[in-house]
Chains A and B, each alone.
Chain A
Amino acid sequence: MDYTPHTPEEIAAMLEKVGARSLEDLYRHLPAEILNPPIALPEAQPEWAVLERLRALQAKNRPAHKAFLGGGIRSHHVPPVVQALAQRGEFLTAYTPYQPEVSQGVLQATFEYQTMMAELAGLEVANASLYDGASALAEGVLLALRETGRMGVVVSQGVHPEYRQVLRTYLEAVGAELKTVPLEGGRTPVFPVGEEVGAVVAQNPNFLGALEEMAPLAEAAHRAGALFVAVADPLSLALLKPPGAYGADIAVGDGQSLGLPMGFGGPHFGYLATKKAFVRQVPGRLVSETVDAEGRRGFILTLQAREQYIRRAKAKSNITTNAQLTALMGAMYLAALGPEGLKEVALKGVAQAHRLRALLLEIPGVEPFTPEPFFNEFALRLPKDPLWVRKALAERGFHGATPVPPEYGAGLALFAATELHGEEDLLAFRETLAEVLR
């Protein structure tokens, strides 16, 4: 379908209707400096000179292709098929193509995305994506508060600190109370949950990369009548028990690990999956399968009356859009790899991260911090300031050592390895880090 809004004929017809001879004529009451403001641009250059200049600027970048940075965003291989499909005009559109009469392809693709995310999470429904992991978490917690009618939230310190900041912002706006449970030895202890608590939140693998015992946390939440919200990297779900299997009522997370570039932290997509019983509380969009008047299979947006553009002030959420293109890239990635391929990618990452940690611990002064077992990233205590270390590594062409906020301890940095990192990469990184720390 062509989304070009107005043809020259349509514009001519509209101008004729209002009695204007041309678009310039239509705007003639506006001052000239508003219509055509002077823009300070350099002299026109030949195309090759412009390209030359752009290449020189580009050469200043240090590509993060094989970054060793932890903190929830990692460098992964993106199969070319994902980029190629995502560039197709049917998907790459600023328009919101939700009219079922003309948008069956996009709606079906979104439906497939929802199905795959619900399966990964081990829950019954997933929405059509949210902006990123942090906003998905905030929406997941609001869902739990609406469902329980309570205003207390307890979050583990193992949840990404930036996600917790976003959550705090959302909760302040609705007047909910947020408490944080500190980690003990790098993991979330089982803690008592009060009757005022509507949502308990933990992350697995947690911010430090460690695997959490999620089932006892979910049980404690349920005993108090609260819902349990699990934050989980979808790639990790290829190997780990899905949130639905350990009692999570809501699973959320960031989809960057599913075929999206690191890209300075975005754009990503957030997933949100939950039980069918809570479907009317799900924020944003939901695509469903149905049949048309002649009994043919089709796809539609469903439960629209909960949505911001229908009910405005009374909508379940003020989120008015989703991250459709990036979410579809996640679906393309999952479809390209299949369950076995995804497992392979995850396993390779775990193996390389454990190898990396063993190598880095050989460096004098470097101490372990994240407890075993961990997934594909881990924290180490460094003998020098982590921010300084990160900069020194960058000067030597390596991206690594994400400084950990001081609330977790002093001198900590996160490291990660994925399927992209070969043995030679790991050895080269160890040499460079040893040099920096010498």
Chain B
Amino acid sequence: MDIPKDRFYTKTHEWALPEGDTVLVGITDYAQDALGDVVYVELPEVGRTVEAGEAVAVVESVKTASDIYAPVAGEVVEVNLALEKSPELINQDPYGEGWIFRLRPRDMADLDGLLDASGYQEALEAGA
């Protein structure tokens, strides 16, 4: 299971990658594998203000649909429109081309409350 060390993680399997004053958000390799073939992604509206833990997007696979939660509070500033035509990018490249939305956190320090790669690894092992 691939868990890059350059970003933060949530217990609900989102990753958050800081880039300047924004963070890129997607779902982990573990999450895409558990979901199976992703067939549709419901993206949030740009400009929407969200709280940490709020359901922001929906990733739909053949058998189920899962909410994607905001890792920290902030404003949605960009969404990955490529997912509208190619939702399978989430399966193929969950940490790259399969990113879902970009958030401008209310406070970048909130990221410190998230898990790091080893913390997420431990959480996965504890859950398994």
What residues of chain A have their CB less than 8 Å away from a CB belonging to chain B?
A: 280, 304-306, 310-311, 314
- Do most interface residues of chain A lie in helix, strand or loop, or is the interface mixed? helix
Q: Are A310 and B40 in contact (CB under 8 A)?
A: no
Number of interface residues of B (CB under 8 A): 8
CB distance from A147 to the nearest CB of B (A): 13
Cβ–Cβ < 8 Å partners of B67 in chain A: 314
| 16 A–B contacts from the bound complex (CB under 8 Å) | A280-B40, A304-B62, A304-B63, A305-B40, A305-B60, A305-B61, A305-B63, A305-B64, A305-B65, A306-B65, A310-B63, A310-B64, A310-B65, A311-B65, A314-B65, A314-B67
Q: How far is the CA of A311 from the CA of B66 in the complex (A)?
A: 9
Complex Cα distance A306/B61, Å?
A: 11
Cβ–Cβ < 8 Å partners of A311 in chain B: 65
Residues of the B chain whose Cβ atoms lie less than 8 Å from the Cβ of A304 = 62-63
Chain B hits for A314, CB < 8 A: 65, 67
Interface string of B60-85 (1 = CB under 8 A from A): 11111101000000000000000000
Chain B, Cβ-Cβ closest to A307: B65
Question: Distance in Å from the Cβ of B110 to the closest Cβ of chain A?
Answer: 26
Question: Quick one: which of A304, A305, A310 has the most chain B CB within 10 A?
Answer: A305
Bound: A310/B67 CA distance, A: 13
In the bound assembly, the distance between CA atoms of A311 and B40 in angstroms comes to 15
Instruction: Give the residues in chain A near B62, CB-CB below 8 Å.
Output: 304
**CB within 8 Å of A: which of B27-73?**
40, 60-65, 67
6 closest A-B pairs by beta carbon, nearest first, are A305-B65, A305-B60, A311-B65, A305-B64, A310-B64, A310-B65
A329 to B61, CA, bound (A): 33
A residues in contact with B65, CB < 8 Å: 305-306, 310-311, 314
Interface centre among B40, B60, B61 (most CB of A within 10 A): B60
CA distance A306 to B65 in the complex (A): 8
State A55–B111 Cα separation when bound (angstroms): 79
B38 to chain A, nearest CB (A): 11
